[in-house]
A and B are shown apart, each in its own frame.
Chain A
Amino acid sequence: MKSAMTKIVAAISYIFLIFIPSVVLGDLRTDILRNAAKEFIYNTVPFETRTDVKKVKLGEKLFNDKNLSLNGDIACASCHIDKFGSADGLPNSIGVGGKGVGVERIKSGGVIVPRNSLPLWGRAEEDFKVFFWDGKVEKREDTLISQFGRQSPSTNPLIVAIHLPFVELREMIIDTDVVNTTLKSETVESASKIYYTLLERINNNQNYRSAFIDAYNIKPSELEFIHIADSNAQFIQDKFRIRASKFENFVTRKSNLSSSEIQGGLIFFGKGKCVSCHNGKHYSDFEFHAIPFPQIGFGKNGFGVDYGRFNVTHDPKDLYKFRTPPLTNVENTAPYGHSGSAQTLKEAIIYHIDPLRLLKTQQMSAIERNEYYRKLLASNNILLKTSFLDDNEIHQLVQFLKTLSFD
């Protein structure tokens, strides 16, 4: 009898042995993840957003207004669309001449902008200092660096960045003969001609004109292009401000994560080494790295080549490097990479750690492969840094990335 009792007790303790460690371990993991988040992500003082309702309203109107493209039929909102997390859901953007969204837009025959559209979350925050895939607008130690040089229209990098789409050929301007001869140089002078023309359009529109004068409290003669850009920035600041993500709510103990999300988080901060580049509140170090994403489309340098940061610095060390993209709301901004060559988050991760797995090398031309070897060699940093991850771990990482969203 006594021995039967001991056996029952033993049986019960087996059951506990299976469950108790997972509870204890669960706590340990949660704590490690919360501490890592505080060390690598939420390590700055929160930034206070202040916007002016009137300016925001004006900016919103302009963001959607096709009249603000010189000779095209396109607005900011054509490529920065809510449904796609403020990107456009396409691998390469379709600029002037494009109609509709998604596949429809590809078929409409507009000109192709050889980069993947970027979302606008958090772009107005003080600590967001490097803009575009190649960082062609950036603020380093209070100096603003851009193609405007010393004639920079502003010291706020977002406001400078907003100046560019208006004057970028293909993006918001068709290169007709007239544009070719007078404006194509993409110089500061040709840009100011375009700004002047657009400003005239605002001036000739009584509604806009009085709204600007009222919102900025200026005399009619004082209205400048910078006011247009500023209202756009105010709108971006208001609409695309960063709110608490599921992950942030977990860190501040307002909610929990599933065990596979936690597991994915531990890989992100741990052996995946993701946080060595995707760090800070925006999940970007605002530095430039080469990652072996394949190139699709024509490429900024043509014939399927995009040299990335090199185009800005002309330093051979910068070949194939791109700004680490922020990951806020990343689940909604597919496709991924500077040319949109990764369809899903899973593919985007695999291109970091095991690119040959997805690459159909037999179907590539010899030139494409040759180009890819260069990129692969330039990517030694990422390939040496991250661990092997199995498919289950990649899945957990994807689950974690989805917690960086907010509604």
Chain B
Amino acid sequence: MNIKLGSIFVIGLSATYILGMFSTNLKKEIVKTYYETEYSNYVFKCDQVMREHFVAKQMVATSPNDDNVSLLVQAEIGLIDCQDYDLLRKKLLSYGLEESDLSEMGLKAIELKAKDIRKVVEIHEIRYD
């Protein structure tokens, strides 16, 4: 995240707090909008490395050899991306978002991919009726 933008955001957030004129809902929406892209990026990355970690584990299970063990170690290092995701989740919770807000943001991230399908359907004017 851009440090300058980040600090403006933090100062803005604290200022509104101190002035005590902040509605919880408005604040939530601002936080959600601000973090939407970053969050969906982490959702994607964490999902990707978890899938790959699972495949790497299965590789060791089905053909245990040094190369596959080494690849599993590398896949484990790759899981660091989930740490980023986890920390961002905690940060957002501390900003007052709830689990349900995070689930909504996660769903939105998945939707981004689903939108591709809609586009294809639209472009090719596929009709199902």
The residues of A with any CB-CB pair to B shorter than 8 Å are 3-4, 7-8, 10-12, 14-15, 17-18, 21, 25, 28-29, 32, 36, 39-40, 266, 269-271, 273, 275-276, 385, 387-388
Contact = CB atoms under 8 A, between A and B. Distances in A.
Contact of B71 (A3, A11, A273): A273
Nearest to B79: A270
B80 A266 contact: yes
B87 interface: yes
Contact of A276 (B20, B67, B81): B67
Interface string B85-119: 00100110011000000000000000000000000
Nearest to B15: A11
A271 B13 contact: no
B10 interface: yes
Contacts of B94: 14, 17
A8 B71 CA distance: 49
Contact of B13 (A3, A11, A36, A275): A11
Contact of A32 (B80, B81, B90): B80
A385 B95 CA distance: 38
A271 B75 contact: yes
B80 A39 contact: no
Q: Which of B17, B20, B84, B90 has the most CB of A within 10 A?
A: B17
B94 to A, nearest CB: 5
B13 A14 contact: yes
A385 B73 contact: no
B63 interface: no
B14 interface: yes
Q: Which of A17, A40, A387, A388 has the most CB of B within 10 A?
A: A387
A391 to B, nearest CB: 12
Counting chain B residues whose Cβ lies within 8 A of the other chain, the interface size class is: 20 to 34
A32 to B, nearest CB: 6
Nearest to B13: A14
The 5 closest A-B pairs by CB, nearest first: A271-B78, A270-B77, A11-B14, A270-B78, A11-B17
Interface in B3-18: 6, 10, 13-14, 17-18
Contacts of B77: 32, 36, 266, 269-271
A368 to B, nearest CB: 31
B41 to A, nearest CB: 8
Majority SS of interface residues in chain B? Answer: helix
Contacts of A29: 80
Nearest to B78: A271
Contact of A18 (B52, B78, B91): B91
Contacts of A40: 70
B83 interface: yes
Contacts of A11: 13-14, 17-18
Contact of A388 (B48, B79, B87, B91): B48
Q: Which of A12, A32, A269, A271 has the most CB of B within 10 A?
A: A271
A21 B90 CA distance: 10
Given A36-B77, A271-B74, A273-B74, A21 B87 contact: yes
Nearest to B55: A384
A270 B67 CA distance: 14
A400 to B, nearest CB: 13
Nearest to A17: B94
A99 B96 CA distance: 70
Interface in B36-85: 48-49, 52, 67, 70-71, 73-81, 83-84
Contact of A387 (B48, B67, B80): B48
A275 B78 CA distance: 12
A46 B78 CA distance: 29
Contacts of A15: 10, 14
Given A7-B18, A270-B74, 10 more contacts: A11-B18, A14-B10, A14-B94, A15-B10, A25-B83, A25-B84, A271-B49, A271-B52, A271-B78, A271-B81
A361 B94 CA distance: 50
Given A270-B74, A273-B74, A7 B17 contact: yes
A388 B71 CA distance: 16
Contacts of B10: 14-15, 18
A28 B80 CA distance: 9
A269 B10 CA distance: 34
A388 to B, nearest CB: 6
B10 to A, nearest CB: 5
Contacts of A275: 74
Contacts of A276: 67, 70-71, 74
Contact of B91 (A7, A21, A28): A21
A10 B71 contact: no
